[in-house]
Amino acid sequence: MARVGVDVGGTNTDLVLEAAHGVFFHKVVSTPQDQSEGVLKGLVEICEIAGVKPNDIDLVVHGTTVATNITIEHNGAEVGMLTTRNFRDILHIGRHKRPHNFSLHFEVPWQNRPLVKRRNRIAVTERILPPDGRIETALAEDEVRAAIQVFKRRGLKAIVIGFMFSFLNDAHEARAKEIVRAEMPDAYVCCSSEVANVIREFERFSTAAMNAFIGPKTATYLNNLSDKLSQNGFRANLRVIQSNGGISTVETSARQAVGMLMSGPAGGVIGGRQEGLWSGNRNLITVDIGGTSADISTIPDAQVKIMNPRDSYVGGHPILIPMIDLVTIGAGGGSIAFIDSAGGFHVGPRSAGADPGPACYGRGGEEPTVTDAQLVLGRLDSDKLLGGDLPLDEAAAARAIEAKLARPLGLSVTDAALGVIRVINSNMALAIRSNSVARGVDPREFSLLPFGGAGPLHGVALAEAVAARDVVVPVAPGITAAMGLLETDMQYEHANSLIASLSTADGATARRIDEMTAQLVAACHRDLDADNVPRERRHIRKIAECRYHGQGFELRADMPEGEVTTANLSTIVDSFHRQHLLDYGYAFDDLEVELITLRVIGTEDVEPLAMARLEAANGAGVEEAFLYDKETVFDDGQRLATPRYDRGRLKLGHRVAGPAIILQHNSTTLVPPRYTAEVTDFGNLRLTRAA
Amino acid sequence: MAKELDPITLQVISGALETIAEEMGHVLYRMSFSSIIRESQDLGAGLFDCDFNTLCESESTPLHIGSIPGYLHGIKETLQDGEWRDGDVVIHNHPYHGSSHSPDIAIVVPAFHNGTLVGYGANTAHHLDIGAATPGLIIDIPDVYAEGMLFAGTKLYEEGKRNEALWQFIGRNSRAAPQLQADLEAQIASARLGVRRYAELLDRYGRETVETATNQLMDYTERVLRQRIAAIPDGEYRAEGFLDDDGKNRGVRLPIKVCVRVTGDDIEIDLTGSAGQVETAFNVPFEGSTKVACFCAIRSLLLDAETSEIKVPSNQGSFRPIKVTAPKGSIYNPEFPAAAEARFSQVNRVIDLIYKALAPVLPDDIIAGSSASLSFVSYSGVKPSGDYWVFLEVNEGSYGGRPQSDGPDSIDSLMANTRNNPLEDLAIHLPMICERYELRDDVMPGAGRYRGGFGVVKAQRMLTDGFITHENERHEDVPWGIFGGHEGAVGRVTIYNQNRPDEVRDMPAKFSGLKLAADDVHVFYGPCGGGYGDPLDRPAAEVLDDVLDDFCTVEHARAAYGVVVDLEAEVVDEAATEALRRDMRAGVAGTVPAPRAPQPAADPPAAAIASARPTTPQAPPTPAMPTPIEIAARLREAFGEAWSFEILGHRRNGQGVEVDGALAANGTRVRETGHANGAGSAGARLEAAADDSLRRCAEALLARHAGAPGRG
């Protein structure tokens, strides 16, 4: 009985293996040409490390950027679209708002990089009318067939069908799909009502078109990986993490590829939540700091939040797929600091990336970055990054800061470096506030959880800037995302728009809500049945997405247990008012509440990683973990001889008083003066300010 | 005054201010009810100091950005009891006291810190209906009193206590009172939030530091903008256009004259010579709209958000280098009590003409003529209950071709930047349904190396009887092409009844309070942008792509681009294309390069369509030559105002620059190439070459004119 999480990043593929005799970590170089090669190599190696055979592995949970990379490189399938006559250009017009207010030379992603070229968007005669979805004009099947001939002549392999009002009645989409299936049996085909069965034509079409765009390649990748695993003796179930933080089967992921688009940061948020639980913290702000960007998410009461669909975009295209609520800002170790022609001081969003990378990498980078600033401040040790795998050139870092920042500003190199850190921390703190305070969350009741290799260098400064109660450093900050893969649930979602006033609902409306909810619940059970999930491990969550009548945005409200009746509709209404109050600070108790979409999520409980409790210190001092002293500059400008400790030798109950730096293979934790790092049960570090 | 702050602290406070403004905007549009605010984001929000300087402002829609200082000045003139107290909330929308126009109601909350007034949190939002003469929008009305409720310095809250009489009055004087009141509540929540956040900022850094920072940040933004202005050669640059009519006096065109005056790092937009104020609501409040549009034009041109690496803070500094002049009593600066509600198209055209004026000196920055108008429709009706429903729809425009890319299609243009309403959402909530929403296929946008953008066609059908007012423009003045690009296409509006689809009524661009019957369909065709650069220079492969995508017909590819497409095989006929293009290039010399839409010969001053006359006082290439001002004087002597000069294209020629220009007057058009060599900036050389082209054209035309019998 063993399971593996394998998370593919831009540079490294991280692996976590859990077996009865322990938890093992491993890292291999990613293989961007075909990610499955690195994945397989890593799996084979971690099995050797852990001493288990491939066929002992029951489950492989995979985080992959395959789908996301297709959108970044815009090299998906050439897609054909069948759409409603007179509405050919819904995907071209979008919401007719420009990306910038003040620009003449702006790009329009949905016009410059369309998911479906206009020549392949063919309108056919059909019409479904609101509010009941009745068919006004039957589908012209001959026109569908004629369009298919064009698609075939052009050699298209992916077809999307998007008709107006299909969320009210999917009969025409379904029929058109049948015809496509019959005439193009090998094509990847999807309907807008299957991919995102919700109101709003542009967003629904865009989501479905994106699915068709990334679907074929994503499906090929997953099937190929699946085959490679079985050829190499793995008989494990392969599962893939989704944007909403759940995991799904290869079959579902291939069919609903759009669900994987934002899965990259999802593992980190889920992993962060588990670290919080290990250390006894249910309210968390996770900050995942990478090379070019930082992902920030707020987790109240151990519940991962889902983004308002209005805000979920990928590559400039709206994607109506539930994704974990997080903000991403251009702030990371590679963020470049510069002074503009009018004397303004900036850090990021431009990044030196991995190549040439920061000046201290010695690969030709001449612009100072956040990593260079950390190095000259003595917070990174030049021979310790990635356990010494990547030696750093401190002189080069100092030269870059001197030339580009210190001299022009008349500052010392140290002060300029402190300035870089101050600005980058300020940028991140503002983003944290916009994801917390601005959304009714009080950071004073939250722990800040920094990860990514460089995260724990910023933890205390960020916690102070947003007034978080303390800082919790994960067990292995460099691979928190991979660990998250083994800590999330099998998850299926089904949704359907049902527009009805809840304030004035009668028995018939309540029955409609109840019936549709029951259908969605049944659909979830069918999925879970197909995965052989036993009934007792299933969880069904029912959500009513509502708004005040006349508003444009829905919020998620809880639904009553059991049957929906006129008597218990108030459960939804009350829950909606509460959510509105929380998100916006106001509720309008006397206004009509309108239901827009019903959503049901079926999950399978998964056992969290069985981390071993750390060995207790039992009176042994922290000296055993002491490595050496080195001068380090702290945010207040103090330059102090600062001891380094080996995190691997710290034991439960150890308290490391700041100033200190705690080193581990892929991460460095900064403990400023007046702070103490305490080692908790499972090896987390809790950093608190001395009273 | 505190000593200057270091740039690092400055950046930290700058970020904090920006976040506050964004949070204010976010709360306002997320909480609001009317689609014009929540979907279209027709709102603005920010913080202001005691001198009414903008400290920060949310990214919402451009016409709101920069308008609030005008409101604050107007409130100072009119404030109830003349004094701000903690807990006050002021409501203000008077167009003769600084408002942008009356439906854009401002909510202002004073910020107090340790008992002292330190600034204001304020926002503006467009409201569905404020009880004007007709539902939603208004055009043909006699004066400002017909615009509806006017508030000036009125306290909706006094020291935290709401004025219930006023609140009830508002509730009884709008056709959309529930939305109006709920949206005002959202505005109050947003302004109060801003004030609270500002106080937190002052607590954290101290008032002196924050105020030093805000002053330095304004200086910083101003400095960046001035650097960009200084790079433009000094001179006066002019362009002209016209508006269809005022919505009442049909056929009476309204000239627009724009002069951009660049002196060092100052820039002035002078609208002198534009039409006088009109007798309908088709006037523009000067402080709240005319000035703001000019700020928007310069910011988009010189601080382009897409191409600038740095994000300049959005504050007062971005307005300081820009002076705006419009004489009292003109359409851009009307006198009380003229109505001035329907003002968008006029100022959007000013922006468009600023770019046309600057084309000779900023050829790589400006873009060809855009739709540059606004289609703003108010649909309304009375429900069975007797209550009104009102829906405001902003229809999109299109962009002109650009120096390195095609003009975007069917998108809000220039100062407009709103979101449409999902058609499915609309049809479920209102007695309307959309019959058609796609790109126009009845006309082509301006051809060019980079083509203009397509206008939209949107057909909305009423399901019950109702009313419609359409504030719209650009049925006559065609979006201009530049540097050899062809002109675009004008807009069109029709109404027909679904049951009698053959009886189509062509409508003027503007009409007010028209009754519609059930099944009446209102169809808007948006103008298409002009082209940039010679269409013969567009690679044939791109033309083929356009043909396959139905962005271009086979006939248009041949006639405008000289590209012969084999539609069956989906390929370009290379040989035929080469031959055709060769012929077209040869034939084009000395003639008009593109088929132009017919221009009415009557009404001479307004018919002076294209006019980018570089009339810089700078020295011409040789001192003996007449200056552009002298040339202009001679042309005026001969033709009055009925002449126009247009830049067709420019190119590099060794160290020098050549500019092709065309001068038209009395139905004659001559085209000449001007040259400039030698030192100076590229812009200065271009300018000199343009002057040379004008001089040569003028000589040729005046010679012909002198020789023509019966003229002069």
Residue at token pair 């077809």:
A159
Stretch B675-687: mean pLDDT:
72
Do A517 and A591 have their domain in common? yes
Residue A37 lies in a domain: yes
Cis omega (within 30 of 0) for bond into B501: no
Distance CA B79, CA B563 (A): 65
Rounded to a whole number, what is the distance in Å from the CA of A415 to chain B's nearest CA? 10
B623 pLDDT tier (thresholds 50, 70, 90): very low
Do A58 and A78 have their domain in common? no
Enter the tokens of residue B536: 């013969």
Residue from B85, B80, B51 nearest B152 by CA: B80
Residue from A662, A345, A637, A607 nearest A477 by CA: A662
Please tell me what DSSP assigns to residue A378: T
Rounded to a whole number, what is the distance in Å from the CA of B273 to chain A's nearest CA? 27
**CA separation, residue B569 to residues A151, B127, B487, B552, B579 (Å):** 15, 54, 31, 17, 20
Instruction: Give chain B's count of helices (H) and strands (E).
Output: 15, 26
Q: What are phi and psi of A358, to 5 degrees?
A: -55, 160
Rounded to a whole number, what is the distance in Å from the CA of A312 to chain B's nearest CA? 15
User: Given B59, B189, B224, which is nearest A586 (Cβ)?
Assistant: B189
Condensed to tens digits (0 to 9), the pLDDT of residues B590-602 reads 333 344 443 333 3
With beta carbons under 8 A apart, name residues in chain B contacting A331.
none
Distance CA A663, CA A447 (A): 21
Quick one: pLDDT at residue B649?
A: 76
pLDDT for B708 beyond 80 = no
- Give Cβ neighbours of residue A598 (< 8 Å, ≥ 6 apart): A495, A496, A497, A498, A513, A516, A517, A520, A542, A543, A544, A545
Please report the domains of chain B, with CATH numbers, ordered by start residue: 7-221 (no CATH), 612-707 (3.30.160)
Residue A574 lies in a domain: yes
Residue from B300, B411, B426, B498 whose CB has the most chain A CBs within 10 Å, to mutate: B411
Rounded to a whole number, what is the distance in Å from the CA of B219 to chain A's nearest CA? 10
Do A241 and A198 have their domain in common? no
A-B Cβ pairs (cutoff 8 Å, strict): 217
- B432 with B426: CB under 8 angstroms? yes
Give the 3-state secondary structure of residue A583.
Answer: helix
Residue A421 lies in a domain: no
Tell me if A102 and B300 make a contact (CB, 8 A cut-off): yes
pLDDT for B710 beyond 80 = no
Rounded to a whole number, what is the distance in Å from the CA of B546 to chain A's nearest CA? 9
Distance CA B455, CA B441 (A): 9
Tell me if B39 and A202 make a contact (CB, 8 A cut-off): no
Quick one: pLDDT at residue A149?
A: 97
Residue from B346, B237, B231 nearest B292 by CA: B346
Residue A481 lies in a domain: no
- A436 with A448: CB under 8 angstroms? no
pLDDT for B25 beyond 80 = yes
Give the nearest chain A residue to B313 (CA atoms): A344
Reported in sequence order, the residue ranges of B476-611 that DSSP labels E, i.e. its strands, are 492-497, 500-507, 511-516, 520-525, 565-566, 571-572
Residue from B110, B23, B15 nearest B59 by CA: B23
User: Given A99, A104, A131, which is nearest B300 (Cβ)?
Assistant: A104
Ranges of residues in chain A with a pLDDT under 50 are none
Condensed to tens digits (0 to 9), the pLDDT of residues B631-670 reads 888 888 888 878 888 877 777 766 677 888 888 887 788 8
Do A149 and A238 have their domain in common? no
**Interstrand relation of B656-665 and B571-572 (parallel, antiparallel or unpaired):** unpaired
With beta carbons under 8 A apart, name residues in chain A contacting B43.
none
Distance CA A2, CA A56 (A): 6
Give the 3-state secondary structure of residue A311.
Answer: helix
- A541 with A493: CB under 8 angstroms? no
Give the nearest chain A residue to B394 (CA atoms): A96
User: Given B7, B296, B428, which is nearest A130 (Cβ)?
Assistant: B428
Do A639 and A655 have their domain in common? yes
Rounded to a whole number, what is the distance in Å from the CA of A592 to chain B's nearest CA? 12
Tell me if A344 and B8 make a contact (CB, 8 A cut-off): no
With beta carbons under 8 A apart, name residues in chain B contacting A129.
427, 433
Quick one: pLDDT at residue A563?
A: 92
**CA separation, residue B108 to residues A565, B85, B125, B152, B192 (Å):** 45, 12, 12, 12, 9
Condensed to tens digits (0 to 9), the pLDDT of residues A534-582 reads 889 899 999 999 998 877 778 899 999 989 999 999 999 999 999 888 7
User: Given B60, B309, B436, which is nearest A86 (Cβ)?
Assistant: B436
Cis omega (within 30 of 0) for bond into A349: yes
CA end-to-end span of chain B:
66
User: Given B306, B423, B436, which is nearest A106 (Cβ)?
Assistant: B306
Compute the CA torsion angle A636, A639, A643, A644 (nearest 10 deg).
70
B615 pLDDT tier (thresholds 50, 70, 90): very low
Condensed to tens digits (0 to 9), the pLDDT of residues B113-149 reads 999 999 999 999 999 999 999 999 999 999 999 999 9
Tell me if A101 and B307 make a contact (CB, 8 A cut-off): no
Quick one: pLDDT at residue B343?
A: 95
Quick one: pLDDT at residue A440?
A: 72
- A144 with A124: CB under 8 angstroms? yes
Quick one: pLDDT at residue A473?
A: 97
Residue from A89, A100, A101 whose CB has the most chain B CBs within 10 Å, to mutate: A101
b/e code B566-575 from CB counts within 10 Å (16+ = b):
eeeeeebbee
Do A127 and A54 have their domain in common? no
Give the nearest chain A residue to B405 (CA atoms): A105
- B92 with B155: CB under 8 angstroms? no
Do A30 and A48 have their domain in common? yes
Please tell me what DSSP assigns to residue A356: T
Instruction: Give chain A's count of helices (H) and strands (E).
Output: 18, 32
Distance CA B509, CA B477 (A): 12
Could you say which of A213, A245, A273 is where a domain stops? A213
Looking at the DSSP bridge assignments, the partners of residue A339 are: A345
Domains of chain A: total: 4
Do A40 and A138 have their domain in common? no
Tell me if B11 and A103 make a contact (CB, 8 A cut-off): no
Do A123 and A8 have their domain in common? no
With beta carbons under 8 A apart, name residues in chain A contacting B303.
102
pLDDT for B245 beyond 60 = yes
Give the nearest chain B residue to A338 (CA atoms): B310
Residue A415 lies in a domain: no
Tell me if B8 and A202 make a contact (CB, 8 A cut-off): no
Rounded to a whole number, what is the distance in Å from the CA of B604 to chain A's nearest CA? 32
What is the separation of C-alpha B419 from the centre of its chain, rounded to a whole number of angstroms?
Answer: 16
Quick one: pLDDT at residue B616?
A: 39
Tell me if A409 and B411 make a contact (CB, 8 A cut-off): no
Do A556 and A685 have their domain in common? no
Tell me if B62 and A101 make a contact (CB, 8 A cut-off): yes
Distance CA B76, CA A243 (A): 52
Q: At what angle do helices A413-435 and B7-31 cross, to 10 degrees?
A: 10
Condensed to tens digits (0 to 9), the pLDDT of residues B190-232 reads 999 999 999 999 998 999 999 999 999 999 999 999 999 999 9
Enter the tokens of residue A385: 């990054």
Residue A434 lies in a domain: no
Give the nearest chain A residue to B226 (CA atoms): A342
Rounded to a whole number, what is the distance in Å from the CA of A336 to chain B's nearest CA? 12
- Give Cβ neighbours of residue B568 (< 8 Å, ≥ 6 apart): none
Give the 3-state secondary structure of residue A184.
Answer: coil
Distance CA B17, CA B56 (A): 6
User: Given A108, A345, A433, which is nearest B7 (Cβ)?
Assistant: A345
Boundaries of domain holding A105? 74-213
Could you say which of A546, A571, A604 is where a domain stops? A604
String of DSSP letters for B625-664 = SPPHHHHHHHHHHHHTT-EEEEEEEEEEETTEEEEEEEEE
pLDDT for B610 beyond 60 = no
Neighbours of B205 (CB within 10 A): 18
Give the 3-state secondary structure of residue B128.
Answer: coil
Distance CA B124, CA A151 (A): 50
Rounded to a whole number, what is the distance in Å from the CA of B438 to chain A's nearest CA? 5
CATH number at residue A15: 3.30.420.40
User: Given B178, B420, B428, which is nearest A131 (Cβ)?
Assistant: B428
Do A111 and A182 have their domain in common? yes
Rounded to a whole number, what is the distance in Å from the CA of B606 to chain A's nearest CA? 28
Enter the tokens of residue B463: 């399901």
With beta carbons under 8 A apart, name residues in chain A contacting B410.
89, 92-93, 96
Number of residues assigned to chain B:
712
Neighbours of A218 (CB within 10 A): 29
Highest mean pLDDT range out of B221-225, B527-531, B605-609, B639-643?
A: B527-531
User: Given B303, B403, B548, which is nearest A102 (Cβ)?
Assistant: B303
User: Given B60, B300, B429, which is nearest A103 (Cβ)?
Assistant: B300
With beta carbons under 8 A apart, name residues in chain A contacting B26.
438
Give the nearest chain A residue to B454 (CA atoms): A93
With beta carbons under 8 A apart, name residues in chain A contacting B389.
none
Rounded to a whole number, what is the distance in Å from the CA of A202 to chain B's nearest CA? 7
Amino acid identity, position A548:
Y
Quick one: pLDDT at residue B712?
A: 34
b/e code B426-439 from CB counts within 10 Å (16+ = b):
bbbbbbbbbbbbbb
Do A206 and A230 have their domain in common? no
String of DSSP letters for B343-405 = -HHHHHHHHHHHHHHHTTT-TTT-------S-EEEEEEEE-TTS-EEEEEEEEPB-----SSS
Residue A408 lies in a domain: no
Distance CA A380, CA A401 (A): 16
User: Is the Cα dihedral A202, A208, A210, A213 positive or negative?
Assistant: negative
Looking at the DSSP bridge assignments, the partners of residue A472 are: A686
- Give Cβ neighbours of residue B165 (< 8 Å, ≥ 6 apart): none
Residue A633 lies in a domain: yes
Residue from A79, A87, A90, A97 whose CB has the most chain B CBs within 10 Å, to mutate: A97
Quick one: pLDDT at residue A388?
A: 61
**CA separation, residue B414 to residues A98, A208, A574, A684, B473 (Å):** 10, 31, 43, 53, 15
Tell me if B402 and A99 make a contact (CB, 8 A cut-off): no
Q: What are phi and psi of A297, to 5 degrees?
A: -140, 150
